[in-house]
Amino acid sequence: MSLPAQVRLVEVGPRDGLQNESRPISVADKVRLVDDLSDAGLRYIEVGSFVSPKWVPQMAGSAEVFAGIRQQPGVTYAALAPNLRGFEDAMAAGVREVAVFAAASEAFSQRNINCSISQSLQRFEPIMDAARQQQVRVRGYVSCVLGCPYEGRVDPAQVAAVARALHDMGCYEVSLGDTLGTGTAGDTRRLFEVVSAQVPREQLAGHFHDTYGQALANVYASLLEGISVFDSSVAGLGGCPYAKGATGNIATEDVLYLLQGLGIETGVDLDTLIMAGQRISQVLGRDNGSRVARARLAK
């Protein structure tokens, strides 16, 4: 299969990246990050979550972040919603695209959203109905697609079943999350082979955490499987509060560098993106998690 001519990058740094930070990050810093990312040319930014503040305290200020950002035309600013309450709060904050999130493993579903996989899918139905009425697009996530911190191996057929359920209920795209970051390129190719029998490849995305250093290889393996949408976090920010030890997503800068080398268009400017990643890394007092950014900044 030939590589896609264009790739759509879904920037999840402000949500997936920051949700795991234990120290407070000001609304102003979050707003600045989102604005820097849109200035770099990213056209899809996951800004925050409308989840229980008891479960993920860092996302509590998401409505204020939405109110503060400079919304540019042509950019989708999305938020996570775990239930109808979250969806309604998101709508009240002016959000026009949401993402629902399920898991391929029962144990992770319980730890992350306190219900079984089938209960979670039932919870999403009223979100899908309300979203249809309000013409809001809904993206779906499946977590633990290449392994679960509690159950170990996850059967690709189980991932395919959950992805299909999300697609059938109306998610326009389903992002497959390697939450743990243990998956390899071979696992990734097999996964997309199995899942694409249930959901068209054009409606699948890859979401790779980089805990084992495999994420970039997994992006490339996905490209070979005809996948052309990838989630990534600027400066490799993040981790998941319910997957202990898991690190951030693949850094957006590093994916961009890979894609540029393959002649694949994204519309994102690498230098501006590097500045955005460096700024938020300094705010957090963290080393920049992008290898490309570190190399460029050392010059």
Question: Interface residues with ligand HMG (CB under 6 A)?
Answer: 16, 19, 49-52, 54-56, 80, 82-83, 85-86, 89, 101, 112-114, 141, 143, 177, 179, 207, 209, 240-241
Query: What is each CA distance from 274 to 69, 211, 254, in whole angstroms?
Result: 20, 21, 10
- Which residue's C-beta sits nearest to Mg ion? 16
User: Cβ 176 to ligand HMG, closest distance in Å?
Assistant: 8
User: Cβ 176 to Mg ion, closest distance in Å?
Assistant: 11
For Mg ion, the closer CB: 95 or 180: 180
- Per CB under 5 A, the segment of 8-16, 77-85, 119-127, 215-223 that binds Mg ion is 8-16
For 130-162, letters b (16+ CB in 10 Å) and e give bbeeeebbbbbbbbbbbbbbeeeebebebbbeb
Give the number of residues in contact with Mg ion, rule: CB under 5 A.
1
For 214-229, letters b (16+ CB in 10 Å) and e give bbbbbbbbbbebbbbb
Query: What is the C-alpha to C-alpha distance for residues 153 and 146, in angstroms, rounded to an integer?
Result: 7
What φ, ψ does residue 137 adopt, rounded to 5°?
Answer: -80, 145
In DSSP terms, which residues pair with 249 in a beta bridge?
Answer: 209
- Choose the one of Mg ion, ligand HMG, none that binds residue 256, judging by a C-beta under 5 to 8 angstroms depending on kind: none
240 is catalytic: yes
User: Cβ 261 to ligand HMG, closest distance in Å?
Assistant: 26
For Mg ion, the closer CB: 16 or 210: 16
Q: Which residues contact 171 (CB under 8 A, 6 or more apart)?
A: 100, 128, 138, 139, 140
User: Cβ 295 to ligand HMG, closest distance in Å?
Assistant: 26
For ligand HMG, the closer CB: 139 or 294: 139
- Which residue's C-beta sits nearest to ligand HMG? 177
16 binds Mg ion (CB under 5 A): yes
User: Cβ 191 to Mg ion, closest distance in Å?
Assistant: 16
254 binds Mg ion (CB under 5 A): no
The strand pair at 137-143 and 204-208 is best described as: unpaired
Residues across the chain: 299
* Catalytic residue (choose from 144, 148, 171, 240): 240
Burial of 269 from C-beta contacts in 10 A (0-12 / 13-18 / 19+): middle
What residues line the site for Mg ion (CB under 5 A)?
16
Question: Hey, which residues are catalytic here?
Answer: 240
